[in-house]
């Protein structure tokens, strides 16, 4: 079982891959969940939805648990 930190890290990596597929790059360690840029937010939302569909993981819940800690 993955920790909340691992889930958020993996979702960011997935968002980075989606972003790259659109011809864009960000520096390693970029946090898509914190971005205000619409396209970067879309990549985050896509990663969150992918996790939900594939294995039922709620990335937003994992992120909220991290922020509450």
d(C-alpha 21, C-alpha 4), whole Å = 26
- What is the model's pTM? 0.92
Q: Which tens digits make up the pLDDT trace of 35-62?
A: 999 999 999 999 999 999 999 999 999 9
Q: Which tens digits make up the pLDDT trace of 4-32?
A: 999 999 999 999 999 999 999 999 899 99
Per-residue pLDDT band at 69 (split at 50, 70, 90): confident
Tokens 């889930």, residue located: 7
d(C-alpha 16, C-alpha 47), whole Å = 9
SS (H, E, C) the chain: CCCHHHHHHHHHHHHHHHHHHCCCCCCCCCCHHHCCCHHHHHHHHHHHHHHHHHHCCCHHHHHHHHHHC
Residue 1: its pLDDT value, please? Answer: 83
């Amino acid at each position: 079982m993955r920790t909340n930190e691992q889930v958020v890290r993996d979702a960011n990596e997935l968002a980075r891959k989606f972003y790259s597929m659109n011809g864009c790059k960000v520096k390693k360690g970029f946090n898509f969940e914190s971005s205000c840029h619409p396209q970067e937010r879309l990549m985050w939302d896509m990663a969150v939805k992918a996790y939900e569909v594939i294995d039922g993981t709620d990335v937003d819940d994992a992120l909220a648990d991290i922020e509450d800690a």
